[in-house]
């Protein structure tokens, strides 16, 4: 029997409050950007933490810490001011199928981008904040990252886009980190031109499993439309901040094996 609206909302409200706490941070990839206070450092370190967020969380965090060490724990300053010889330290880096070719290109992109922009937010919203849907923003971001002539084709698979029907789990998680703001202090809320109400719920295997059990997903496949379907159901519980329930779904799946 499909759970009723009120019982699902009560469960998710309870678990969102339980898991959206500072204690969530140390064992999650979001712990990487929490090592920084400068906005651009949070953006860059958070981006790499999100992009590398597949596999065991301990391995993700360890590899991200290695990257931060390579960047002298000052990612913004590093991408802007590194010398050619500084890049040799990244040779041989690998996380799953993400390798040094991908890493060196993204460092190159960040250098070009931050020489002209104050924040990575505009790579999603557009220069005039003209993009109005998450689908448009994520497609714009992908196109921006790969607008440079030097972009390797192989790196495209690591930056998802709804144009390829991807659910964009890692980028949606990154946007949650940058955009959501509340008193709990887990997410950063440093981007103010992208409404929390527009965020799409990150859909990993744990979130998907729990969401299906709760009747929040009906589509058989996991793609962009499915992520939108889940978020639409979560919006019925909290129209202003639907993605806060990511904490609940993830916690139920990972911590409680729901």
- Show the tokens assigned to 137: 């923003």
Encode 12-34: b = buried (16+ Cβ within 10 Å), e = exposed.
Answer: beebbebbbeeebbeebbbbbbb
Q: What is the pLDDT of residues 142-166, one digit of tens each?
A: 999 999 999 999 999 999 999 999 9
Residue 257 has pLDDT above 90, yes or no: no
Contacts of 120 (CB under 8 A, 6+ apart): 40, 43, 44, 47, 113, 114
With contact defined as beta carbons under 8 Å apart, do 255 and 18 qualify? no
Could you tell me which of 66, 75, 74 has the C-alpha nearest to residue 100? 66
pLDDT band of 109, cuts 50, 70, 90: very high
Phi, psi (5° rounding) for residue 94?
-155, 135
Q: What is the pLDDT of residues 58-94, one digit of tens each?
A: 999 999 999 999 999 999 999 999 999 999 999 999 9
Q: Angle at Cα 194 formed by Cα 188 and Cα 195, nearest 5°? A: 90
Could you tell me which of 136, 184, 192 has the C-alpha nearest to residue 161? 136
Could you tell me which of 38, 31, 103 has the C-alpha nearest to residue 74? 38
Residue 28 has pLDDT above 60, yes or no: yes
Q: What percentage of the chain has pLDDT greater than the value 90? A: 96
What distance in Å separates the CA atoms of residue 207 and residue 211, rounded to the nearest whole number?
6
Provide the whole-model pTM. 0.96
Alpha carbon dihedral 140, 177, 39, 90, in 10-degree steps, equals: -80
Q: Tell me the residue length of the chain.
A: 258
Residue 216 has pLDDT above 80, yes or no: yes
CB-based burial label for 88 (10 Å; 0-12, 13-18, 19+): exposed
pLDDT band of 2, cuts 50, 70, 90: low
């Amino acid at each position: 029997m499909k759970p009723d609206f009120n019982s699902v909302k009560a469960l998710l409200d309870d678990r969102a409050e339980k898991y959206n706490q500072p204690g969530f941070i140390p064992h999650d990839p979001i712990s990487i950007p929490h090592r920084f206070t400068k906005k651009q450092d949070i953006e860059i370190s958070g981006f790499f933490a999100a992009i590398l967020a597949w596999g065991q969380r301990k391995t993700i965090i360890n590899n991200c810490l290695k990257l931060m060490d390579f960047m002298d724990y000052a990612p913004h300053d590093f991408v802007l001011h590194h010398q050619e010889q500084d890049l040799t330290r990244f040779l041989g880096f690998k996380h799953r199928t993400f390798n040094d070719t991908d890493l060196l290109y993204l460092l190159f992109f960040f250098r070009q981008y931050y020489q002209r922009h104050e924040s990575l937010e505009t790579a999603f919203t557009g220069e005039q904040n003209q993009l109005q849907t998450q689908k448009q923003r994520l497609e714009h971001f992908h196109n921006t990252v790969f607008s440079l002539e030097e972009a390797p084709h192989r790196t495209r698979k690591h930056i998802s886009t709804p144009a390829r029907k991807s659910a964009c789990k890692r980028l949606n998680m990154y946007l949650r980190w940058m955009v959501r703001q509340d008193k709990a202090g887990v997410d950063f809320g440093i981007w103010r031109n992208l409404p929390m109400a527009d965020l799409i719920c990150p859909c990993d295997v744990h979130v998907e499993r729990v969401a299906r059990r709760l009747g929040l997903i009906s589509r058989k496949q996991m793609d962009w439309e499915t992520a939108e379907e889940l978020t639409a159901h979560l919006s019925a519980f909290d129209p202003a901040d639907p993605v806060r329930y990511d904490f609940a779904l993830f916690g139920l799946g990972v911590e409680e094996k729901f």
